[in-house]
Amino acid sequence: MMMKIVKYGDPVLRKKAQKITRIDEHVVKLAEGMISVLHAAKGIGLAANQVGVQEKLCVIDTGRGDKKGEVLCLINPEVTAFEGSAVFEEGCLSFPEIFAEIDRPAKVTVSYKDLKGKDKEVTAEGILARVLQHEIDHLNGVLFVDRMSRIKHMLLSKRLKALEKETRGK
């Protein structure tokens, strides 16, 4: 299946993804395709709705540059615990060239199923905690621009409107 990253302005990014009830070849192929797209884009996280698929699946690889890390494939991920607070600059493959400081919990625990259908849990801090929250937000139709300060949102409003117009014009 040919996949490309959906940009801001596409309504699919605002829709809540559907829970995956059966892990079959379709889900495995979707995950494999998403990993290829993620690596080609040199990203660290990608949610299924970012490639236009309304299913609760995200892939994460926090390796840097040519050093690919361990890829996490999370099916139906949910934050089950969080603590602390940390502000850090975020970007998003659906928002090219747009970055903003976002305040999120510093530490999170996420439960999910892996591609074999096994129940898993990961507790993370730092970049992994941030990426987990960012991708889970995507699956819930929440975008990082929704979490930025009002001032930052105002400063970026022209660029956001231009991106939205460009996306919808296609």
135 is catalytic: yes
DSSP bridge partners of 45:
60
Rounded CA-CA distance 126/167 in Å is 32
Residue of 78, 83, 135, 166 marked catalytic: 135
Burial zone of 82 (CB within 10 Å; 0-12 exposed, 13-18 middle, 19+ buried): middle
The alpha carbon torsion through 114, 119, 123, 128 (nearest 10 deg) reads: 10
Secondary structure letter of residue 19 according to DSSP: P
Cα angle 42, 45, 46 (rounded to 5 degrees) comes to 100
Rounded CA-CA distance 163/170 in Å is 11
Distance separating the N- and C-terminal Cα atoms of the chain: 21
Give the residue numbers annotated as catalytic, written as ranges: 135
